[in-house]
Copies of this chain bind each other. A is one copy, B any other.
């Protein structure tokens, strides 16, 4: 059994991790840390977590104790605070899966510029694997620190990577128009997140300045073998879960739908959580409550353009499910263990 602990367990990614891990057959949960909710019974905050009805949130006072009986720690803290703590836990010999942005970047300067903060443990950036198993499974297997990707980034990189790597599309003309449910904004009490503000509303935000842009660009640059800059425009959907990205592309070779489908087959046929289709576009209800990403596309022959649509559940494949997938890989478990939930149409 893998002994797993969660730091920052009270937020929505923590909630989702508790949900998945408490049903995972090869995991024992050892510590659920929430400084602001220390000593609160878990089910007082989340009655839905029936399986944790005798558990309480702990503080983070004794790192030695937490490290000692944890094989892996999931950190759901905000960036900077997360690296600060993860660094200390790593020094104590625990494996780390960090859901913040702190270990996602190859380049310290890109991280520091994007997040406008100094990295407290820059020396760990080289050690950390980028936790997108469909691209980096071998690195993740050997990693002791994994930087778990962002939600928008997972939904953007996976459909784009093969098309760029194979030279199918013009990598200098990538336009990602993405739409996310509100759970992506987390559990902070802010007026802008109130039901009355979000319901029956829809808006773009962070246009041209959203932080996930640099993370997507890092991976698409890897695919292209050169620096790529791309346009990323996020929107806030009045739904709780799910991201749909509509990606507007320009093919640069003569290719038909079957050719594009074969590209995806080449990269993802053996990936257990990637669904892709020749003739159907996914919608949120094809993936929500599951760890799948679903990819579809339309080749617009009239305009010689390619529109790719991808969907994930932002809290699962976009956060906690992917984190558990990474854990499974790091500990030699079946990659799908604990993650076999089917999507929910309703």
**Chain A residues within CB distance 8 Å of chain B:** 12, 15-16, 19, 22-23, 46-51, 175, 177, 179, 181-183, 187-191, 193-205, 207-208, 229-231, 233, 235, 237-242, 244, 246, 248, 275, 280-290, 292, 294, 298-300, 302-303, 305, 307, 309, 315, 340-346
Chain B residue, CB-CB nearest to A285: B201
CA–CA, A179 and B340, complex, Å: 32
Contact of A23 with B340 in the complex, beta carbons under 8 Å:
yes
Neighbouring B residues of A292 by C-beta, 8 Å: 50
Taking a contact as CB atoms under 8 Å apart, the answer to whether A307 and B233 are in contact is yes
Cross-interface CB contact of A200 among B12, B239, B305, cutoff 8 Å: B239
CB distance from A270 to the nearest CB of B (A): 16
Is A286's CB under 8 angstroms from B47's CB? yes
Q: Judging by beta carbons under 8 Å apart, are A289 and B286 in contact?
A: no
Contact B246 A235 (CB under 8 A): yes
Looking at the complex, which one of B203, B281, B309, B342 makes contact with A50 (CB distance below 8 Å)? B342
Shortest Cβ gap from A176 to chain B (Å): 10
For A48, list chain B residues within 8 Å (CB): 285-287, 290, 342-345
Asked whether, in the complex, the Cβ of B235 is within 8 Å of the Cβ of A199, the reply is no
Report copies per complex. Answer: 4
Contact (Cβ within 8 A) B342 A281: no
Q: Which residues of B contact A191 (CB under 8 A)?
A: 187-189
- For the A-B complex with A51-B342, A195-B195 known, give 5 more contacts whose Cβ atoms are closer than 8 Å: A46-B345, A47-B345, A181-B196, A199-B240, A207-B309
- Asked whether B246 lies within 8 Å of A177 as measured between CB atoms, the reply is yes
**25 cross-chain CB contacts under 8 A:** A12-B196, A15-B346, A19-B344, A47-B282, A175-B175, A179-B202, A182-B194, A187-B194, A189-B189, A189-B191, A189-B193, A189-B194, A193-B194, A193-B195, A195-B197, A195-B238, A197-B285, A200-B288, A201-B283, A202-B244, A204-B307, A205-B281, A207-B281, A231-B307, A341-B341
Cα–Cα, bound, A207→B298 (Å): 7
